[in-house]
Structure formats: structure tokens, C-alpha cells
Amino acid sequence: MLGRSSLRDLAWAALLLVGLLVLPILVPHPAMRDFVIYVIAYGLLAMSLNLLVGFTGLVSFGHAAYFASGAYIFGLLMQSGNVSLPVAMLAAVGGTALLALVIGAICVRLKEIYFAFLTLAFQMFIHSIILTWVSLTGGDQGLMGGIPRPTFLGIDLNDSMTLYSFCAVVFVACLVIMRQIVQSPFGYTLRMIRDNPHRANFLGVNVVRMKLAIFVISGTMASVGGIVMALFVSGAYPEFGFWTTSGEAIFMIMLGGTQLFIGPLVGAILLQTLNHYVTIYTEHHGLVLGIVILIFVLGLRRGLADFVYLWFQDRRTRKLEKETGR
Amino acid sequence: MELEALAGCLSSMSCAVTQVSTGLIIGMLLFLVASGLSLIFGVLGVINFAHGSFYMIGAYFAFSAYQLTDSFTLAILSGALGVGIFGMAFERLFMSKVYGRDVLMQLLVCYAFILILDDMVKILYGAEYKLMGMPQTFALPPFQIAGGFIPSYYVFMIGISAVVGLVLWLGIAKTRFGKVVRAAAINPTMVGALGINTTLLYAFVFGVGSMLAGTAGALAAPIRTLTPGMGLSILIESFIVTVIGGMGSIVGAFIAALLIGLTRSFGSMGFPLFVDGMMFGIMALVLILKPSGLLGRPVH
């Protein structure tokens, strides 16, 4: 039986889905749809990364590797023409899970800063494989020739509105899965590991196995983001697996904040908006982004969603104090 | 796979000598960068993810100084000292603000600087490749050992790096100041209580670590193409070196750097597509067998 909180989560999810589906009717500009799909793809990347960073305290700097592997496996399978779209999606997710399992098995035993650097190193390894294995991946040109979108179950993704709705449904489904994981006993075990790994170990939790499990789960969720991206741009590019993509994902988390489940999504929206305007006005994208990051990290010292959340909490406690004082 | 080529090279003395010298210069550059990274981590407990960018600006500083003065000595000095001072300023103004906070914040500060420095280089020098050219001083006939040719600059570079490495090791292992640095790595509060200004010490250590990256960049300038983003690959490789050698160990970094350098030079003959894989394989093996690295003490 579903608990009350699960029902509430499902209601929120339904609301979000309806909102996403109504949005292109309210704002009929195609650019809006494109923007939302970008937010969905990078939002999945950031939210899955937050399962590691925010909930388990594992700062991974190589998360884009799974984003890229999802995109490439999916793209290659679709180009081969032998499998249907849902099968290719499942295979891409499964393949990425396997990859995350191998990399995770080596990385999760390490202390935090080692972990950050090692995940980065493995990501660059995967990036260099993508670049050098030209016959399979097309090297730095990316997966060329487009990714076919054959009709399945009567769904034709070549129609841009159908594609948009499909991405929205996949996105909301992933959010529900991640929310369920975070709210499950497993999710609370992860929080305990984050706050005090020794105590967790003492209580009989197999810390390494838990970390590995969430590492794999988070990798698979990132791969769904990659699949959405590959489906949308009809290709896969080495930049998907470049370290800057991981860096941006980390910044999205910071921007949105780690306190709230939905925070990274806010970060994804903010960063996509920022990127959109920065690329219009200047070619020195890195310079602007770098300065914005410094302002947030050193000035605000936390993400926007955290900022607002803490402000509300602060107000609530003050109000409570007032009431009890009366 | 061109394993025959590798076997052929190993059986001919001249080819082996040439490849060993190539491996040595790759290894020495890596050693300089990695020992700086390792020193900063060992004492301050932070990883400078922007270390590769420091290597890059070292190379560009040297490039500019050489263009302006035509003196290679000045080029190396400006690369080393310029980046050293830059590193100290970076530590004081930015890095020190995020000590003791999330790793996430340290990571983001470095990430911001990688982006900013790459773009600054693009603005100042343009995005295209730059060549500094070999200084006149080294326009000498190459050394000949057992039929293999070694450019005179290679010999100079290996020598200089070895001297820098030796001075660093002596400074840390044998001097009183080195003792203070080692003590600060273990218990900074106690060192502070004994009347030593740890703030200054941290800035200095960060400066020395940056200087090592800058020196490597300056030394690499004549033999590498200069491009924005050139720091990233050496950052990853030098991290692999520090993991294999053990965080905080200078000698370990030296051994691991030579190992990786030789793997690169011989590997690019025998299995060019798998050189990266080989490096990661070695690193994974070390991590599984001895997580603290060959000569590292367990991380506190």
C-alpha cells in the first residue's frame, strides 16, 4: 500500500507532467520545447548526480561519462537498425549500469577527494576512447548520420510534439523513481552514510555495497538523460563525456542547492537560461561562467534553492518562536 | 597492434635509447607537475584541480617572456616565478576561503578558474596553436648514445628537472623548514600553537607547488605546441602519477612519473590505441593492491 507521502509525491509528479504537457500549448514557440528538452536531459544528469553528492556525500567529478555512454550505446544500437527504440533504451541503460558497476567498484572505496579525482580520470579515459575509436564512434565528429526514430507501439517520435511528450513522460517517470529511492529506507541509509560512515558501518550497514548500489543507480539515471539528448539532437558527441559537462552538472547542483530534492532541476533551468543568454552576447562563455561560479561559491556561499529554502525555514522558526512566546 | 614494432625497437639499441629519452622527458614533466600537486595535497589537504591550468599559463608566460627578451633563462624564470606568485595569490584570495568546506566548493572554485584561465589565454593569445621554437643555445648536434640520438635540449631538461626534484626533496626531508612543513601536514593547530604562521606557510607551500607546475610548463614550451586547454591531459596524467606513487610522497611521484613516461613512449609504438588504457590499468591495479599508492602513507 502506498503511504501518504508517496501519494503526495505521485500527485506532484502528475501535476508536473500536466504542466510540462500544457506548457507548449501556452507558449507555442518551438524554441520553448527545445529549451525544456535540454533542461530535461541536463536536469536528469544533475539530479542523478545529486543522489551521489547530496544524499550520499560522494562528490563525483566524472558523471558525464554515464550521460555519454547512454547516448552512444543508444545511438549506435538505433543506427544498427536491428532493435526497436524501447529495447535500445533499455540496452543503453543496462550497458551504462554495467560500466558504472566496474568503475564504481574501483572508486567507491576511496576517500572523498580521491573519489572526485578518480571518477574524473575514468571519465577522461572514456572520453579518449570515444575520440580514438573513430571507426565505431566517429571520433571528434560525433555519431554522424542521424539517429533513426522508427515508430513503435504507434508512437512516432519524428513528430516534434510527440517527441516532446515522450521526453516529458520519461523525465517524470525517472523523477518518481529517484524520489522513491531517496524516500526509501535505502535512501535514509545513504544519508546516514553521508553524515557518519563509521556509525553506519558500526550498525551493520555494508557501506561499500550501499555506495556502489547508489553509484550504479545514479549512473543509469544519468544515462537516461544522455538518451533523451541523443534522441533530441539525433546524434551523440564527445562533448557529452567531456569533463566540462561534469563540471556543469556539479555547478547545477550547487546553483540549485543540495537541500531539496528538486534543487538540481532548478539549477539546470538556471544554468541553461544563463548559457542561452551568454552564448548570444559573447563568445567568452567560459570566462562569464567562471565568474558567475565564483560569485555563487564565494559570495552567496550556497545555491539559490537552498537560499530560498533556508530563508523560509528561518521565517517559519521565527514565527513559531513568536507564537510560543505569546 | 604493432607489437612487432615494439619488439624490434627493444632489440635495437639505438631505437631503445631514443624511446627511453622520450619516456624520460615525458616522465620528468609529469614528475614536476605531480610533485606540486602532491605537495599541496600533502600539506593543505586540498587537490588543486586547476593545477593543469597553472602548467598551461607557465608555458604561455615563458612564451611571452621569450618573445620579448629572447632570453630562454628569463623565459623559464618568468614561467616558474610568475606562476608561483599567481598560485600564492590564488590561494590567499580564493582557495583559502573554501578550506574546511565541502569538497564541492573547492572543486567549483578550481573549475571556475580552469574556465577563466582557458578563456583568458584565448583572449590574449588566440585559440590557435602556438610554437615557441627551440632556443638558439640548444641548436647543437644531438648527443649520441649507443647509436641513438638524444637532442641536447632533452638532456638539459632532464637535468634541470632532476635538480629541481632533488632540491625539493632535500628541502622537505633535510631542512628545518621542511620539518615545519611536514609537521603542518600532520597537525597544523599544534604548529600554529608553537608560534609558526600557518597562513603564510600554506600560501608559501601553495606557491611552491604552483611554481613546480609553472616550471614544467616553461620547460615544455619549446617542445610542445601551446594551446588553451593543454593543461587538462597533464592534470589527469599527473593525478594518475600521484595515485600510483602515493599522495604526498615526492619519491613515489618520481618513480611513478618515470613508469608512466616510459609506458607512454614505448606504448605509443607497440599499442598506440591502448596507451591510455594501459595507464588506467596500472592505476587501477595499484589502487586495488595498495590503495595508498606505492610509497604513500594512509590518507588521514
Task: Find the CATH number of the domain harbouring B178.
Answer: 1.10.3470
CA distance B121 to B117: 6
Mutation test of the interface with chain B: which of A114, A130, A254, A255, choosing the one with the most B Cβ atoms within 10 A? A114
Residue A252 pLDDT exceeds 70: yes
CA distance B131 to B136: 15
Residue B297 resides in a domain? no
Mean pLDDT over A105-116 rounds to 79
| Higher per-residue pLDDT: B37 or B14 | B37
| Cell output for B144 | 649520441
Q: Given the C-alpha cell 580564493, which residue does it identify?
A: B94
Residues of chain A positioned with their CB less than 8 A from the CB of B118: 286
| Higher per-residue pLDDT: B136 or A165 | A165
A195 in Cβ contact with A41 (< 8 Å): no
Give the number of C-alpha atoms closer than 13 A to the C-alpha of residue A32, restricted to the C-beta side. Answer: 11
Residue A1 pLDDT exceeds 50: no
Mean pLDDT over B32-54 rounds to 88
Reported as a pLDDT band with limits 50, 70 and 90, residue A195 is confident
* CB of A285 less than 8 A from some CB of B: yes
| Cell output for A309 | 529554502
Residues of chain A positioned with their CB less than 8 A from the CB of B287: 106, 110, 118
Residues of chain B positioned with their CB less than 8 A from the CB of A111: 299
- Contact at CB, A128 and B276, closer than 8 angstroms: yes
CA distance A209 to A201: 11
Instruction: Tell me the H-state helices in B94-187.
Output: 103-125, 152-174, 176-186
* CB of A284 less than 8 A from some CB of B: yes
Residue of A nearest to B278 (CA): A125
Residue B298 pLDDT exceeds 70: no
In Å, how far is A63's CA from the nearest CA of chain B?
14
At residue B48, φ and ψ (nearest 5 deg) are: -85, 90
Quick check: ipTM above 0.90? Answer: no
Reported as a pLDDT band with limits 50, 70 and 90, residue A304 is confident
Residue B2 pLDDT exceeds 80: no
Residue B294 resides in a domain? no
Mean pLDDT over A258-286 rounds to 80
| Cell output for A263 | 534543487
Residue B51: predicted pLDDT = 92
Q: Given the C-alpha cell 527504440, which residue does it identify?
A: A85
| Higher per-residue pLDDT: A319 or A173 | A173
- Say how many C-beta atoms besides its own lie within 10 A of residue B232's C-beta: 20
Residues 6+ apart with CB under 8 A from B156: B138
Residue A11: predicted pLDDT = 81
Reported as a pLDDT band with limits 50, 70 and 90, residue A2 is low
Mean pLDDT over A272-297 rounds to 81
- Contact at CB, A114 and B118, closer than 8 angstroms: no
- Contact at CB, B112 and A291, closer than 8 angstroms: yes
Residue B243 pLDDT exceeds 90: no
* CB of A125 less than 8 A from some CB of B: yes
Q: Which of A9, A111, A21, A39 is nearest to A268 (CA)?
A: A39
Q: Given the C-alpha cell 565505431, which residue does it identify?
A: A136
Mean pLDDT over A7-36 rounds to 80
* CB of A242 less than 8 A from some CB of B: no
A45 in Cβ contact with A67 (< 8 Å): yes
- Contact at CB, B291 and A289, closer than 8 angstroms: no
Q: Given the C-alpha cell 618513480, which residue does it identify?
A: B255
What residue segments make up the domains of chain A, in order of their start? 4-243
Residues of chain A positioned with their CB less than 8 A from the CB of B115: 244, 247, 286-287, 289-290, 293
Residue B295 resides in a domain? no
- Sequence length of chain A is 326
Residue B163 pLDDT exceeds 60: yes
Q: Provide the residue range defining the domain that includes B267.
A: 3-288
Residue B300 resides in a domain? no
Torsion on CA atoms A177, A178, A184, A188, rounded to nearest 10:
170
Residue B298 resides in a domain? no
Q: What angle do CA B66, B86, A283 make, to 5 degrees?
A: 80
| Higher per-residue pLDDT: B89 or A307 | B89
